[in-house]
Structure 1
Amino acid sequence: MKIILTQEVSGLGAPGDIVEVKDGYGRNYLLPQGFAIAWTKGAEKQVTVIQRARAAREIRDLGHANEVKAQLEGLKVNLTARAGNGGRLFGSVTPGDVVDAVKAAGGPSLDRRRLELPGAIKAIGSHQVRVKLHPEVTARFDLKVVPGK
């Protein structure tokens, strides 16, 4: 099955890529989740629009990615979340929460889809977060979740 990715899918490709996948994977997962659209000649023309939007969000080049990496790794990011007794959070920390916390700490604006959280963050404490800035550059920073609110 030939599809056009609308979002980055780990191990498969980036938005705008035309890929060949097994029928079941495309029909039962990628298409219903909105990660891809079915390939047609008309849809292929939309690929340029998707790639232009991606280029606007994309880190410009390797040098810029390394600058953002240095900025992120020197940043102290604190996130306040509601927690109960024993340090368990009410809910969990989402990638959107992390992006907002990085921006509040004076860091660069990030795309939440590029964050790689270490599983679900459901407890207070320090957690290691990875951000894939460029195909060759991955930044890591500590996220300290503190009780509050």
Structure 2
Amino acid sequence: MKVLLIKDVKSLGKAGEVKEVKDGYGKNFLIGKGFAKHATAEVLEKHAADEAKKAEDLKNEIATLKATAQKLEKVEIIISKKVGDNGHLFGAITKDEVVKALEEQHNIIVDKKHITDKTAIKTIGEHDLDLKLGQGIHAKLHVDVQGE
């Protein structure tokens, strides 16, 4: 009996592979537990179509992320914050403030989790933030912090 694995099976193979197994093992265990489907022509065609759609979606997502990264490289956001007597900011510039300013000033929406810098911005001046957008695509965002 031929089966199409839906999930990884430790001693048999990875999801998406077609394997030849004994009838009892295939019907009772693999199909019965939801690890596989009977490998009919219809099931294999549907699986191939699903894989092609996933590949197309991934390609579109990567193109969108690259376009966003190119936009981010070209823009600069300006954030104004109160300054103390010593020249340092009251508090720090948070990721939420950066994301909000980016959306208000350039209409680009980015999740705050994509900002990977560990250190907070606590001084006036120009700063470059690294953004990890996903799928291995990175971008730099230029932030200009001005005192009030």
Q: State the match for 1:106 in structure 2.
A: 106
Q: Helix, strand or coil: the match of 2:91?
A: strand
State the one-letter code of the partner of 1:68: T
Pairwise CA RMSD of aligned residues? 1.4
Q: State the match for 1:142 in structure 2.
A: 142
Give, in angstroms, the shift of residue 111 of structure 1.
0.5
Q: How do 1:25-44 residues align onto structure 2 when only pairs under 5 Å count?
A: none
Alpha carbons of 1:117 and 1:87: their partners in 2 closer, same or farther (altered >3 Å)?
farther
Q: State the match for 1:92 in structure 2.
A: 92
Alpha carbons of 1:116 and 1:87: their partners in 2 closer, same or farther (altered >3 Å)?
farther
**For 1:102 and 1:137, how far apart are their aligned partners in 2?**
19
CA contact (8 A) 1:99 1:111 kept: yes
Unaligned runs of 5+ in 1: 1-59
**For 1:136 and 1:81, how far apart are their aligned partners in 2?**
33
Q: Helix, strand or coil: the match of 1:83?
A: coil
**For 1:127 and 1:118, how far apart are their aligned partners in 2?**
13
Of residues 79-88 and 120-129 in structure 1, the stretch that sits farther from structure 2 once superposed is: 79-88
State the one-letter code of the partner of 1:69: A
CA contact (8 A) 1:128 1:142 kept: yes
Structure with higher Rg: it is 2
CA contact (8 A) 1:75 1:105 kept: no
State the one-letter code of the partner of 1:104: E
- Equivalent pairs counted in the alignment come to 89
Q: State the match for 1:74 in structure 2.
A: 74
State the one-letter code of the partner of 1:108: I
State the one-letter code of the partner of 2:90: F
**For 2:136 and 2:100, how far apart are their aligned partners in 1?**
25
Give, in angstroms, the shift of residue 118 of structure 1.
5.2
Q: Helix, strand or coil: the match of 1:85?
A: coil
State the one-letter code of the partner of 1:91: G
**For 1:86 and 1:109, how far apart are their aligned partners in 2?**
34
**For 2:106 and 2:86, how far apart are their aligned partners in 1?**
30
1:98-142 Cα offsets, whole Å, 9 max, x none, are 001111221411101111235121111111101111231000021
Give, in angstroms, the shift of residue 61 of structure 1.
1.2
State the one-letter code of the partner of 2:137: V
**For 1:102 and 1:61, how far apart are their aligned partners in 2?**
21
